[in-house]
């Protein structure tokens, strides 16, 4: 992950995001993030999950919480 290298050199932290609307893309994006983060956990401040889905009406609170918990379980060590 090029951004992680740059962030590390400059002392920055990254906030990454994942959009959970469609299961296939959500699963694919989780894998991409998991692979990209390996070895760079120290520069990842957080991962946002569906940051706009509540006010757009894509998900209700419990549905979004389920997606957030999936990411937390599959990508441990990152908030």
Per the domain annotation, does 10 fall within a domain? yes
pLDDT value of residue 1: 66
Question: Phi, psi at residue 44, to the nearest 5°?
Answer: -95, 110
pLDDT value of residue 64: 93
Judged against a pLDDT cut of 90, whether residue 71 lies above it is answered with yes
Tell me what the pLDDT averaged over the chain comes to: 89
pLDDT digits (tens, 9 = 90+) for 18-31: 999 889 999 999 99
> How many whole angstroms separate alpha carbon 44 and alpha carbon 69?
17
Q: 17 lies in which domain range?
A: 2-74
Per the domain annotation, does 79 fall within a domain? no
Of 38, 23, 5, 1, give the one whose Cα is nearest residue 70.
23
Helices 23-37 + 61-74 axis angle, to 10: 30
Give pTM, 2 decimals: 0.83
pLDDT digits (tens, 9 = 90+) for 30-53: 999 999 888 888 999 999 999 788
Q: How many domains does the chain have?
A: 1
Per the domain annotation, does 65 fall within a domain? yes
């Amino acid at each position: 992950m090029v951004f992680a290298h740059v962030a590390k050199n400059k002392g920055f932290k990254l906030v990454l995001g994942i959009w959970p609307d469609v299961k296939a893309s959500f699963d694919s994006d989780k894998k991409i993030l998991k692979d990209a983060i390996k070895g760079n956990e120290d520069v990842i401040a957080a991962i946002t999950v569906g940051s706009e889905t509540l006010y757009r009406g894509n998900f209700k609170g419990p549905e979004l919480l389920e997606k957030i918990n999936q990411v937390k379980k599959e990508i441990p060590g990152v908030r």
